[in-house]
Structure 1
Amino acid sequence: MLFALPSEYYAFAKQAVSWQAYRDELLLQKHNGTALLFGAPVLTEHKNQLHIIAGRTHAKNLIQEGKLNAQLDWLDDEFAIDKSQNIIVCPYFDYRQLSNIKIARLSELVAQLRII
């Protein structure tokens, strides 16, 4: 998904020759600025942080359990956004749920926030 972001705003695609190379050499490495976390996001006042919650049901459960205080604007059955807190809800990160078309849509939503 990071590799699909517009390169005029994000340098991820400029750092490797392919998304596979980016994944293998850079993604989730120390000092890369990316992390894969499980559980509720820790929201801070830092506006340069983006939180992507994978899974509509997971996001709704976090809100119902009081672990996430967000005002999600549901764009459709799969995507939601809270621009004030830089939160995006998308399908689970699995090729069966997050197809290339949906990755492109997620990239567009991230680009709208212009953070990272």
Structure 2
Amino acid sequence: MNKNKQIIGFDGAKTCFYLPTPPILPDNWSHTAPNAVQHFIEANGNHWRKILTIMAKLSVTDKNWKYYRDHLLLKQDECISINGNKLNPNASLHIICGQQSALKLSLNSELFKPIALNSNYVSKHTHQEIYLCPYLDYRQFPNLQINILRAALNLPPLN
């Protein structure tokens, strides 16, 4: 099992999610393989299923996030940067997940403003498409906050 991969998915993806802790990837695992997400979840358990679910909810343009999750990394629209210390230069949208990831990227917190009055947990960079959000866990980042970020991304609510 490989724990050293820095980018998971297509590194030229337009959206990059930044997470602090690497998953376990089965040897010879590829995001382009059939059932890649299923094998990813089998190797890493429910915690990573939840992470991929929230990623899908933040990415899907319609409401079918379950289907989107199961094909998430195959679509090549999103990638995950693990423990990155710089922004992915290929991505146009950056979603920084959790304080640990933000600290690792050395982002200037003064350049981020809350995206909604009722959201102290999600903020946007004043000049770039960089969003700070809680770690991708339902206790920290429930559906209400997901929909607030979806609205900022010009996506319809999931409910």
Same fold, judged at TM 0.5 (above): yes
The Cα shift of 1:33 comes to 1.4
In structure 2, which of residues 134, 142, 145 is the aligned counterpart of residue 102 of structure 1?
Answer: 145
1:30-52, CA deviations, whole angstroms, 9 ceiling, x for partnerless residues? x53111111234254x7x71000
The Cα shift of 1:28 comes to 0.9
Q: 2:105 and 2:133 mapped to 1: Cα distance? A: 14
Partner of 1:89: 132
Paired residue type of 1:19: W
- Equivalent residue of 1:104, what SS? helix
Partner of 2:92: 49
Q: In the superposition, relative to structure 1, how do residues 86 and 41 fare at CA in structure 2: closer, same or farther (>3 Å)? A: farther
Q: In the superposition, relative to structure 1, how do residues 23 and 11 fare at CA in structure 2: closer, same or farther (>3 Å)? A: closer
Paired residue type of 1:32: Q
Q: Point out the more displaced range, 76-85 or 96-105.
A: 76-85
Q: 2:67 and 2:121 mapped to 1: Cα distance? A: 29
1:8-65, CA deviations, whole angstroms, 9 ceiling, x for partnerless residues? xx8732xxx72111111x2011x53111111234254x7x7100000134314532xx
Matched residues, percent identical? 31
Max radius of gyration: which structure?
A: 2
- Equivalent residue of 2:95, what SS? strand
In structure 2, which of residues 73, 95, 112 is the aligned counterpart of residue 73 of structure 1?
Answer: 112
Paired residue type of 1:62: L
In structure 2, which of residues 64, 72, 78 is the aligned counterpart of residue 18 of structure 1?
Answer: 64
Superposition TM-score, scaled by structure 1 size? 0.63
Q: 1:57 and 1:74 mapped to 2: Cα distance? A: 18
In structure 1, which of residues 32, 35, 41 is the aligned counterpart of residue 76 of structure 2?
Answer: 32
In the alignment of these two chains, the number of paired residues is 97
Which structure 1 segments of 5+ residues have no match?
A: none
- Equivalent residue of 2:136, what SS? coil
Q: 1:20 and 1:89 mapped to 2: Cα distance? A: 24
Superposition TM-score, scaled by structure 2 size? 0.48
Paired residue type of 2:78: T
Q: In the superposition, relative to structure 1, how do residues 80 and 50 fare at CA in structure 2: closer, same or farther (>3 Å)? A: same
Which structure 2 segments of 5+ residues have no match?
A: 1-53
Alignment RMSD, CA only? 3.1
Q: Is the 1:2–1:107 Cα contact (8 Å) retained in structure 2? A: no
